[in-house]
Chain A
């Protein structure tokens, strides 16, 4: 019987080995994922028990936990709430946090892996656990300027530093007051939240990273990059200059926004087409390049992929498998092409940075309760999108667009601004989407800026990028360059 007994012992050992493995898998390997699950109420309750770390802009808190006299110990309080709401997000009593409160929850509550040893030492020394503070890359001057300049428009302004990808301003309007959603009263929170949800202007959406719009003419920068990088085109390459263009194999007509030809003459150069932002030459160029070449360039700029800054940025789209008529439409940013403001800021940023695209990032440093840095973020290259020559050529073309072209309202005295406007259609009767993207100073780019004005800026189909979006960019650039 002992031989059988030995075998049964082995079976028992295997059963216990299975239990040791399964508990290890749950408690060690899957623990982070399980803790991050939105259904995990333990994580939520915990987030109130520790003094949640602050979110800092230039050392000043924009979100912090104030001692409270109730069961939750701390009340999350936001300073300058509407200005920073798209960045901080909020942590509600009875739901999932948003914004940085969500993306950096583990760090803010002190439960991330990098804080493991702090946690153990706090356990041993009997200190109250405390979360880490987060210093963001936001420049308060740029943020305020962008907020003021955008006025009452529904839309967004994103300012980045081309050389590093650091996000210096991120404004989304209309905004909301996160303090209303953190009060320790479920009924009040629910009422406020439902009201915000019902608001047709979607104040809870961070438009800078979540709003997808057709980019319209700002997408011509991507197509121009594809053309120049192909080696077959220069700014002086010419295209036929009709008043109406019909793509091969279709009867749908494409016109320039002016309704006429693109400048005078039988043919028009690429440089002029970009400067005056004409649709027909780009439709022709798009068909010649083909949808694959354009898509590949767009993807190098970051289209068709999502980013974490650390909030998740919606994926901007350049569709696959387009036929010629669709490619013609896509070449001036229509058809199914869609972009977030942050994506367009990455396009300008890459051009400004000599052709190298930098990963956009909102977090500068994670600071332990004793203010020592747990983690400092370094610039990350996403890759080279275009050669330095192409970047220089494009910059010159964009300067022309501002000085003497369709983006003239972004002009600043004494500084060269490189820029491109866009006026995108959303169906036959819906209001336009208006864009500006560019950077300054053009010879030594410090700031890349993208302005998105949704809902026609209140002007339906009569507004256009240079009228509404370019002046916003001009005001912000003036403010940051003069500070």
Chain B
């Protein structure tokens, strides 16, 4: 189907020439290169400023950290010139600058903790970036058309669930600060398979919902002015709900559960257009979370920390709000303009390079810096949504929006947790936070969005 339309597009090219010139592939890639160079400049100068600010001198680590990522992202750009010439020109530069700022901040924390060599999280993060971008290139090379993924809907679902529960396998799983969401992979440290699972689940949800939207759109009884689904169609949502609840109970990870369930709800809503699903789903999740907060100590603690963070008793409690409050102190220290790279004390807050990287950045780059970062995320998400709006096939639309939304929701859960919008739950900030699995997952998301956007632009909508 797709190849056919591509062929017709080729044949019809002369007729569409004047219109297609509006977005010549060459121009898109040149714009991307221009933005990418700016991103690389920002990344390199961030590392320079970190060295000047925290060390007071420049040292050779600079070359690796400052230039390594630039080489990687420019190679990705070159790949795009060949295999996805019409891809969105903003996605790659945004991902690059977020990744680079993240490395600079992780490096800054390394300096404070006096880590170097393989112990340096920044070096590891750069190596992970290489792997992640390599994965992205592979995705772009292998998946030449996103509809291939539609065929593997159920396999993707199976992979997603397996990855999700991999850490529960005895001997493989590893518990870090209460949550059991990691597996150990030799000297590389730990890997969080749940991060990759979110992509597999997005593919599964998109495929499944496109196939079954009709029956899920059927409505049953009308309760309080809203039409609710038929009882027999509740199966899927109950399964996903049970999946999320088991993540809360067995992996003790509130954030991941919220992420998956939120993703599913939004995709379900998009596919069926039924608000009643959202109401039902939120009711189920809130009910589950409420029961969990009453019965599970760690969930209850998260709520107490959130509502009463500055209370000395909560602050001093084991597993209390110490980290949250230290993060707030860091943000407050940053104020409007921040202390400048290397001039703050983000290392006072626990895990300043992963879960709390946004507080670290807020301390050194200030509210201005946070706004810029949030704007970058919003732009990234908006590019994904744009694919959803422009897309022609429902699977592609759903997948693009699902992937973009998962990034948005993850930002909201983690940054919202740090700034007390919602209870704090451990999740990584996409592209920024130290963590290989997160980087790989998000670069794959970027690759998929690039692929989807390329397909969308290639669609001969004026011809058909």
Query: Which residues on A are within 8 Å of B, measured CB to CB?
Result: 1-5, 8-9, 11-13, 15-16, 18-20, 22-28, 30-35, 37, 39-43, 45-46, 120, 123
Pair A12/B333 contact, Cβ less than 8 Å: no
Chain A residues within 8 Å of B401, by CB? 5, 8
* 5 chain-A/chain-B pairs, Cβ below 8 angstroms: A4-B270, A5-B401, A23-B331, A25-B419, A35-B329
Answer whether residue B111 sits at the interface, using C-beta atoms and an 8 A cutoff: no
Q: Which of B329, B374, B388, B411 touches A34 (beta carbons < 8 Å)? A: B329
Contact A34 B332 (CB under 8 A): yes
**Contact indicator B374/A16 (Cβ below 8 Å):** yes
Provide the B384-409 mask, 1 if CB < 8 A to any CB of A, else 0.
Answer: 01001100001001100100010011
Shortest Cβ distance from residue B210 to the other chain A in the assembled complex, whole angstroms = 10
Contact B408 A16 (CB under 8 A): yes
Chain A residues near B340 (CB-CB < 8 A) = 123
Q: Are A4 and B269 in contact (CB under 8 A)?
A: yes
A-B contacts besides A28-B367, A42-B345, 14 pairs, CB < 8 Å? A1-B398, A4-B269, A5-B388, A8-B401, A8-B405, A12-B378, A19-B415, A22-B419, A28-B336, A30-B328, A35-B333, A39-B325, A42-B330, A46-B333
Known: A8-B405, A20-B371, A37-B310. A45 touches B394 (CB 8 A): no
For residue B334, give the distance in angstroms from its CB to the closest CB of chain A: 6
CB closest chain-B residue, reference A6: B389
Please tell me if the beta carbons of A1 and B332 are within 8 angstroms of each other in the complex.
no
List which B406-460 residues lie within 8 A (CB) of chain A. Answer: 408-409, 411-412, 415-416, 419-421
Q: Mark B157-187, 1 if CB is under 8 A from A, else 0.
A: 0000000000000000000000000000000
Contacts of A33 in B (CB 8 A): 332
Q: Give Cα distance in the complex from A27 to B269, angstroms.
A: 35
Give chain B's interface residues, CB within 8 Å of chain A.
266, 269-271, 273, 310, 315, 325, 328-337, 340, 344-345, 348, 362, 366-367, 370-371, 374, 377-378, 381-382, 385, 388-389, 394, 397-398, 401, 405, 408-409, 411-412, 415-416, 419-421
| A30 contacts across to B, CB distance below 8 A | 328, 332
Q: Is the CB of A31 within 8 A of B332?
A: yes
Question: Which residues of chain A are near B415, meaning CB under 8 Å?
Answer: 19, 22-23
The listed residue with most B CB atoms (<10 A of its CB), out of A1, A18, A30, is: A1
Do B409 and A15 have beta carbons less than 8 Å apart? Answer: yes
Chain A, residue nearest B333 (CB): A42
- Name the contact of A18 in the complex, choosing from B348, B382, B385, B416 (C-beta under 8 A): B416
Q: Which chain B positions have C-beta within 8 A of A12?
A: 378, 381, 385, 405, 408
Please, how many angstroms separate the alpha-carbon atoms of A15 and B348 in the complex?
28
Minimum C-beta distance from B55 to chain A (A): 15
Contact of B332 among A4, A8, A35 (CB under 8 A): A35
Closest to B388 in A: A5
- CB closest chain-B residue, reference A26: B331
Q: How far apart sit A26 and B324, CA to CA, in the bound complex (Å)?
A: 12
Q: Which residues of B contact A28 (CB under 8 A)?
A: 335-336, 367
Closest to A31 in B: B332
**Assembled-state Cα–Cα distance A41/B332 (Å):** 12
Q: Which of B367, B378, B419 contacts A16 (CB 8 A)?
A: B378
Contact status of A27 and B412, CB under 8 A, knowing A5-B389, A19-B421, A20-B374: no
Question: Please, which residues of chain A bring their CB within 8 A of the CB of B374?
Answer: 16, 19-20, 23
Chain A residue numbers with a CB within 8 Å of B378 are 12-13, 16
Contact B332 A18 (CB under 8 A): no
Q: Chain A residues with Cβ under 8 A from B271's Cβ?
A: 1
Q: Given contacts A1-B273, A22-B421, A27-B370, is CB(A9)–CB(B385) below 8 Å?
A: yes
CA distance A159 to B209 in the complex (A): 82
- A43 to chain B minimum Cβ distance, whole angstroms, is 8
CB distance from A269 to the nearest CB of B (A): 56
The answer to whether A26 and B328 touch (CB under 8 A), given A20-B374, A42-B345, is yes
CB nearest to B336 among chain A residues: A28
Q: How far is the CA of A183 from the CA of B371 in the complex (A)?
A: 41
Chain B residues lying within 8 Å of A35, measured Cβ to Cβ, are 329, 332-333
Distance in angstroms between the alpha carbons of A7 and B315 in the assembled complex: 39
Least CB distance from A27 to B in Å reads: 4
Tell me whether A2 and B367 are in contact (CB under 8 A): no
A23, A45, A46, A123: the one contacting B419 at CB < 8 Å is A23
Contacts of B336 in A (CB 8 A): 27-28
Residues on the A chain within 8 Å of B382, using CB: 9
Tell me which residues across on chain A come within 8 A of B273, comparing CB atoms: 1, 3-4
Q: How many whole Å from B42's CB to the nearest CB in chain A?
A: 19
For A43, list chain B residues within 8 Å (CB).
329, 333
How near does chain A come to B272, taking the closest CB pair, in angstroms?
A: 8
Q: Which residues of A contact B367 (CB under 8 A)?
A: 23-24, 27-28
Q: Tell me the minimal C-beta distance from A282 to chain B in angstroms.
A: 45
- B269: chain A residues at CB < 8 Å are 4, 8
A23–B385 CB distance below 8 A: no
Q: Which residues of A contact B325 (CB under 8 A)?
A: 39
- How far apart are the CA atoms of A13 and B329 in the complex, in Å? 27
> In the complex, what's the smallest C-beta–C-beta distance from B40 to chain A, in angstroms?
26
Min Cβ gap A425→B in Å is 38
Partner of A15, one of B366, B388, B408: B408
Given contacts A5-B401, A15-B409, A26-B419, contact A120 B337 (CB under 8 A): yes
> Which residue of A has the minimal Cβ distance to B213?
A1
Most chain B beta-carbon neighbours within 10 Å: one of A20, A23, A30, A35: A23
Closest 4 A/B residue pairs (Cβ): A34-B332, A22-B419, A27-B367, A31-B332
**Whose C-beta in chain A lies nearest to the C-beta of B335?**
A31
* B416 CB contact (under 8 Å) in A8, A22, A39, A120: A22
> What residues on B are CB-neighbors of A42 within 8 Å?
329-330, 333, 344-345, 348
CA distance A31 to B271 in the complex (A): 44
B306 vs chain A, min Cβ distance (A)? 12
Contact A27 B421 (CB under 8 A): no
Chain A, Cβ-Cβ closest to B338: A27
Q: How far is the CA of A34 from the CA of B326 in the complex (A)?
A: 10
Question: Which residue of A2, A16, A22, A123 contacts B377 across the interface (Cβ within 8 Å)?
Answer: A16
| A-chain residues with CB within 8 Å of residue B344 when the two chains form the complex | 42
A46 surroundings in chain B (CB, below 8 A): 333
Asked if residues B419 and A1 are in contact (CB atoms below 8 Å), the reply is: no
Q: Which residues of chain A are within 8 angstroms of B270 by Cβ–Cβ distance?
A: 1, 4-5, 8
Query: Once bound together, how far apart are the Cα atoms of A20 and B370, in whole Å?
Result: 8
B334 contacts A27, C-beta separation under 8 Å: yes
A93 vs B405: C-alpha distance in the bound complex, in angstroms?
48
Minimal beta-carbon separation of A139 from chain B (angstroms): 38
Q: How far is the CA of A28 from the CA of B333 in the complex (A)?
A: 10
Considering the chains assembled together, what is the distance between the CA atoms of A33 and B335 in angstroms? 12
CB contacts (< 8 Å) of A13 on chain B: these are 378
Give the CA-CA distance A45 to B398 in the complex, in Å: 51
B408 contacts across to A, CB distance below 8 A: 12, 15-16
Knowing A18-B416, A19-B374, A37-B310, the reply to whether A27 touches B331 (Cβ < 8 A) is yes
Question: What is the bound-complex CA distance between A8 and B334, given in angstroms?
Answer: 33
B125 to A: closest C-beta gap in Å? 24
**Distance to closest chain B CB from A120 (angstroms):** 7
A16 to B379, CA, bound (A): 11
The reply to whether B329 and A40 form a contact with Cβ atoms under 8 Å apart is yes
Task: Tell me the minimal C-beta distance from B261 to chain A in angstroms.
Answer: 15
Q: A27, B362: Cβ atoms under 8 Å?
A: yes
A129 to chain B, nearest CB (A): 10
Q: Residues of B contacting A23 with CB < 8 Å?
A: 331, 362, 367, 370-371, 374, 415, 419
B422 to A: closest C-beta gap in Å: 9
B371 and A5 contacting across the interface, CB-CB below 8 Å: no
Distance (whole angstroms) from the CB of A164 to the closest CB of chain B: 35
B416–A45 touching, CB < 8 Å: no
Given contacts A19-B411, A22-B416, A27-B370, whether A1 and B328 have CB atoms under 8 Å apart is no
Quick one: which of A9, A18, A26, A35 has the most chain B CB within 10 A?
Answer: A26
Q: In the complex, A3 Cα to B401 Cα: how many Å?
A: 13
- A19 with B335: in contact, given A8-B405, A27-B362, A27-B370 (CB under 8 Å)? no
